[in-house]
Amino acid sequence: AQSVTQLGSHVSVSEGALVLLRCNYSSSVPPYLFWYVQYPNQGLQLLLKYTTGATLVKGINGFEAEFKKSETSFHLTKPSAHMSDAAEYFCAVMYSSASKIIFGSGTRLSIRP
């Protein structure tokens, strides 16, 4: 079955430290990959997406993610965490432009002062 796995339901880092949120997908065919951020009681905001082309994708707020086909991964990183980055992050996949979006279980990012 097609799925997406986020390792770690909760990640806590210090302000200024590296942020690494992990995402793996299960598919023999590379899907379209997304990272979304959700603040409390709000909808989803797209951080970045991978469709084709360059495997290192840069998004908003200093985030980036690298598509690694050999590892079926799409981990999200940010070199230096800011307090405003505290939120819930969802990795998602879409297997064709006509298909639905499947979400991972989410990772709550906390930032320590």
Partner 1 sequence: GAVVSQHPSWVICKSGTSVKIECRSLDFQATTMFWYRQFPKQSLMLMATSNEGSKATYEQGVEKDKFLINHASLTLSTLTVTSAHPEDSSFYICSAKSAGALVTEAFFGQGTRLTVV
Applying CB under 8 A, the residues found at the interface with partner 1 are 32, 34, 36, 41-46, 49, 51, 90, 94, 97, 100-106, 108
Give least dist CB 96 to partner 1, A.
9
Q: Computed from CA positions of residues 55, 46, 5, 99, in that sequence, does the dihedral angle turn out positive or negative?
A: negative
Least separation in angstroms between CB 56 and partner 1: 17
The least CB distance from residue 105 to partner 1, in Å, is 5
- Tell me whether residue 34 or residue 67 sits nearer to partner 1 (CB atom): 34
17 vs 44 by CB, closer to partner 1? 44
Q: Whose Cβ is closer to partner 1: residue 46's or residue 83's? A: 46
- Torsions phi, psi for 106 (to 5 deg): 95, 150
Both tokens assigned to 109: 């990012």
Burial 69-95 (b: 16+ CB within 10 A, else e): eeebbbbbebeebeeebbbbbbbbbbb
DSSP 70: G
